[in-house]
Amino acid sequence: MVLKEMTRPLSLALTEEHEMLLAAVRDFAQREIAPVAAEYDESGEFPIDTVRKMGEMGLMGIEMPEEYGGAGMDTLAHVLTMIEIAKADASHSTILSVNNSLYCNGILWFGSEAQKREWITPVASGEEIGAYSLTEPMSGSDAGNMASRAVLNEAGSHYIINGRKSWVTSAPFADRIVLFTMTADNPPRSPHSNGGKQKGKITAFLIDTREPGFSRGKTEPKLGIRASATSEIIFDNYACPVENVLGGVGQGFKIAMTVLDAGRIGIAAQALGIAEAAYEAALIYAREREAFGAPIGSYQMIQQKIADMKTRIEAGRALIYQAIIAKERALAKGTRYTSEASMAKLFCSETAAFVTDEALQIHGGMGYSKELPLERYYRDARITRIYEGTSEIQRMVIARKELGLR
């Protein structure tokens, strides 16, 4: 039996530029976002003012080259930013993640030079908001089971798009969207039909939401990340120029999965940020809260919780750093880093669930009250095990890679 070479342990060191970014983002997050997070969570209102400020700081396109309106930094900078923003408010970090990982990356890696300049620049600079649309009402983890269709018109100049997409983050405010839909010669049975699976391949399109034929459906009333607006989007004979096909007809599935690898690193960082916020709150409470004549942190059962939370957080950080290194190597070689991204996302999302639950337990009844942010952390953490690939999908991806299955 031949054993494959083991991955050599690696680490990342923060440069002076990273340290400066970290300090600036932490200050901004705690000064501008944290004080208004509970209010936005309660109202469900989209935090457009602070999102614009994130754009002014260069955070909405942190990995994008400066020539396309971005900050020109690396994946580690994106991760550090995601963690600090998520510690203040997960909703803001969700908006940030979609803009960077899912929208901008796909165009940077697969777009033409003209597409990069037209479609990345206004979004990376924060002037406009980007979104990514893959899911449909009957197509979640099974991305290939799409009912929406794009049919080339007789003149060959435009694709006519019809269908309904669901769970589109930032859709109520998005100016531009990377859309994934089926390209096929035969049209759907009705403009909004979700039935009748038809032959075709997934293609990515660049969508301007201000054009005729595009509309927004119901906004989802969510358990957590409530200030991150999520809604359906509807296409009714939307005419998309052929110049707005991203990466070539039939290349959509490859693009979607490649982009999700990067997105999963971002969500792992988000989950870690939520976990850190909950842990730090529990640590302070365990030092200050007294019971039976002593701080509750002096009791072994509380100490066990603190030790377990801290250990899982640091293990999650190590997996994220491993995924960052794998991503940088993969981009240089033109390969994938799916397994590393999936492991980081799986572990960190489940760590967020564990840590927020334990932190709430340490706080007792006060943790269950909206007077403290613990219950918000608890609700926000739950989505990290679902979006950008459920925990079940991550386990399948990891296992199939280890078993050598396609």
Q: Quote the tokens at residue 1.
A: 């039996």
Q: Are strands 201-208 and 245-246 parallel, antiparallel or unpaired?
A: antiparallel
Catalytic site residue from 42, 243, 388, 402? 388
**Strand-pair partners of 171:** none
Orientation of helix 34-43 relative to helix 90-97, angle to 10°: 90
* Angle value at C-alpha 380, between 87 and 55, nearest 5 degrees: 50
Burial 219-248 (b: 16+ CB within 10 A, else e): ebebebbbbbbbbbbbbeebebeeebbbbe
388 included as an active-site residue = yes
Query: Would you say the C-alpha torsion 98, 103, 104, 110 has a positive or negative sign?
Result: positive
Which residues face 180 on adjacent strands?
A: 204
Residue with the two structure tokens 């991305």: 143
The Cα 367–Cα 34 span in angstroms is 18
CA dist 122 and 220 (Å) reads: 27
Element holding 348 (H helix, E strand) = helix 338-363
Please give the backbone phi and psi of residue 245, each rounded to the nearest 5 degrees, phi first: -75, 130
Bridge-based pairing state of the strands 130-133 and 176-183: parallel
Active site residues: 388
